[in-house]
Chains A and B, each alone.
Chain A
Amino acid sequence: MRLRVLPKGQVPDLVRALMADYRVWGPKAKGPQFAFEPLYDPAEMRLDYNISILSPKVALQPPQERVAVFRMDGGFTVEPVVEAEPTVIFGMHTCDLHALALLDRAFSADFPDAHYTERRQQALIVSIECLQPCDEHSFCKSMGTWTADSGYDLHLIDLGDAYAVYVGTEAGEALLAKYAPQARPAADAEVRRLNEVMSAKWPRFPHRLNFDAAELPALLATAYDHPIWTELGDRCLSCGSCTNVCPTCYCFNVIDSPELSLKEAVRLRRWDSCQLDEFARVASGENFREARAARQRHRMFRKGKWLYERFGELGCVGCGRCIRACLTHINIVDTFNAIHASQHRR
């Protein structure tokens, strides 16, 4: 893999140059926290952010988007709306990068979803290595997502006064050549510095899962009727925050809304959550996941088993966002650990 070095002082120039040709998304301060948003000024970007409230998937699957427009006039016509533009997502952490790999599979499997895939094709990813855990809730080390050797076009590692830049793709190489010609091959000293930085990183990250994440699907297979689901169900508010912040959740609702004139209508899709009461309810009133316990189990099984079986990737990348967002402290790591402990006690 090609390695370059970019002095830190030149990052704002790079971002500014990119902004001329791309929509550039990056981490920005939002109160005491951070959010991925389009950048309008390179100075807004905070590459020192710990974690963003919503994952950067917002750039590829927005919370709400139009998917079609109907024009009515006696009969009607349908116009698909696929909105994509050249985009750079700057400063993505590696947990979110791994999540992206799963979204890529989910949206391109079987029936490719152009709303996602078109945006994805036009998006370049500049990720950045976390040198310390974002906070006490992350467990990326346990999920093997605390670093990445692919999935990005460019990947930054903070060397102090410069960034080491791994070039992951030809598109990344071209981007660097065009927008950051100052980037140069790494000198020996810089490679040594990079190795030091990376070896200092490992011990800073704790393992939070008490077992190998690869065991998760098999572990959950034994835990369908585990009492912990009732316990979580009793505590859960069904607020949907855990799924809305999750980088691998992609469920949605489809909603049609007419204009007042009834001459036009839009079809929207909006993030939806399996934690909400009505998610699996049908018109006859039957609700196929009525109990909060069943909905919690569904979420955690989707993360630890079902998506893995379908796409070969675990549905949890250990970012810890669901834990931070949950006001009743429902904690996916503690849950998996508790199941593991109880299944191995006997």
Chain B
Amino acid sequence: MSKSSVAKPKVAFFDFASCEGCQLTVVDSLQTHLDLLDAVEIVNFREAATLNGWDFDIAFVEGSITRPHDEERLKRIREQAKILVALGACADTACVNALKNLQPPDEVRRYVYGEHADWYETYAARPLSAVVKVDAVIPGCPIDQEEFVEVVKALLVGKKPPIPDYPVCVECKLKGNVCMFHIGKVCLGPVTRAGCGAICPTYGDGCEGCRGIIPHPNENAMEEVLDEAGLTLDDIMHRFTMFNAYREVETGKW
């Protein structure tokens, strides 16, 4: 082991448009993995403490970018951070925030801000990677505690975080689960990025795709599977929309 790697990295947490659920998961991880605090020094974490230091190595950034104003702050974080990690689906794929991208923007603003809509500038929700270079992502809505810890470990030893490129089916099979399709349920596992331990099928629910789509999905084949399960094309789009609306708007596919 390199002796030079023992210096404690300084870590900061930031959030944009999000439910802060991923940061809460981080707070939980700090309680379940007490040695996290021995391994890193947290210098900025509004959610858990009144720390607001700007001298950090690793920035974990939660949330989607929804206003031009956000971009400046994110770029400042990027400038400071040696490593910038998108924390959770909002930051990684724009998650449910991107649902509004499917509506005309004026309507959304009016719905959210009522008669003051014109005071607020908001635009289509986007993942961090649409604005700055992102070094690593932790997918999921919310993120998985164990995976968060694995990412921290990887960063500590200096390797890229082990986020799988393969689909949820792999973890589902390794767990020996009954396939949801065999009991009349629908599951997006075959095209959704693994890493959650296939938690939904393990507990009897189909995967909803919260971790985003794998790099090279076979879209036609997946549509056929869903079609055979009785879903219309509209149903299919609808199912993917929940967590993958940004991709839908950007690519014209689900």
Binding site for B on A (CB under 8 A): 30-33, 35, 37, 53-54, 58, 63-64, 72, 74-76, 234-241, 244-245, 255, 257-262, 270-271, 273, 276-278, 292, 325, 327-328
Contact = CB atoms under 8 A, between A and B. Distances in A.
Contacts of B183: 31-32
Contacts of B166: 238, 240, 273, 276-278
B174 A64 contact: yes
Nearest to B179: A325
Contacts of A276: 165-166, 170
Contacts of A277: 165-166, 214-216
A259 B150 CA distance: 9
The 3 residue pairs across chains A and B that have the minimum distance between CB atoms? A244-B173, A239-B169, A63-B174
Interface string B214-225: 111110111011
5 contacts: A235-B224, A238-B166, A238-B216, A255-B162, A262-B39
Interface stretch (B30-38, B81-89, B92-100, B243-251): B30-38
B140 interface: no
B6 interface: yes
A239 B170 contact: yes
A9 to B, nearest CB: 30
Contact of B221 (A54, A72, A235): A235
Given A262-B6, A277-B166, A237 B215 contact: no
Contact of A33 (B35, B182, B225): B182
A295 to B, nearest CB: 12
Interface in B1-52: 1, 3, 5-6, 33, 35-36, 38-39
Contact of B1 (A76, A238, A260): A76
B182 A234 contact: no
A260 B165 contact: no
Contacts of B33: 260
Contacts of B3: 74
A260 B182 contact: no
Contacts of A240: 166-167, 169-170, 173
Interface in B97-156: 149-150, 152-153, 156
Given A35-B176, A238-B216, A244-B174, A259 B153 contact: yes
Contacts of B217: 237
A261 B39 contact: yes
Given A53-B178, A255-B162, A278-B165, A262 B225 contact: no
A58 B173 contact: no
A53 B176 contact: yes
Contact of A273 (B5, B156, B170): B170
A328 B6 contact: no
B232 interface: no
Contact of A244 (B38, B170, B218): B170
A236 B218 contact: yes
A236 B162 contact: no
Contacts of B214: 277
Interface of B: 1, 3, 5-6, 33, 35-36, 38-39, 149-150, 152-153, 156-157, 162, 165-167, 169-170, 173-179, 181-183, 189-191, 214-218, 220-222, 224-225
B190 A327 contact: yes
B216 A260 contact: no
Given A239-B169, A240-B166, A245-B173, A262 B182 contact: no
B221 to A, nearest CB: 5
Nearest to A262: B156
Contact of A260 (B38, B179, B222): B38
Most interface-central of A234, A241, A270, A292 (chain B CB within 10 A): A241
B221 A237 contact: yes
Given A237-B167, A240-B169, A262-B157, A58 B176 contact: yes
B215 to A, nearest CB: 7
Contacts of A64: 174
Nearest to B33: A260
Contacts of B221: 234-237, 328
B178 A31 contact: yes
B153 A258 contact: yes
Contacts of A58: 176
Given A63-B174, A327-B190, 13 more contacts: A30-B178, A31-B178, A54-B176, A236-B218, A237-B222, A238-B167, A244-B173, A245-B173, A260-B33, A261-B35, A278-B165, A328-B221, A328-B225
A318 to B, nearest CB: 20
B178 A32 contact: yes
A53 to B, nearest CB: 5
A214 to B, nearest CB: 31
A328 B227 CA distance: 11
Contacts of A53: 176-178
A266 to B, nearest CB: 11
Given A74-B3, A292-B218, A261 B38 contact: yes
B167 A239 contact: yes
A332 B133 CA distance: 44
Contacts of B156: 258, 260, 262
A239 B162 CA distance: 18
Contacts of B36: 260
A260 B148 CA distance: 12
Contacts of A328: 221, 224-225
B173 A241 contact: yes
A261 B157 CA distance: 10
A262 B2 CA distance: 11
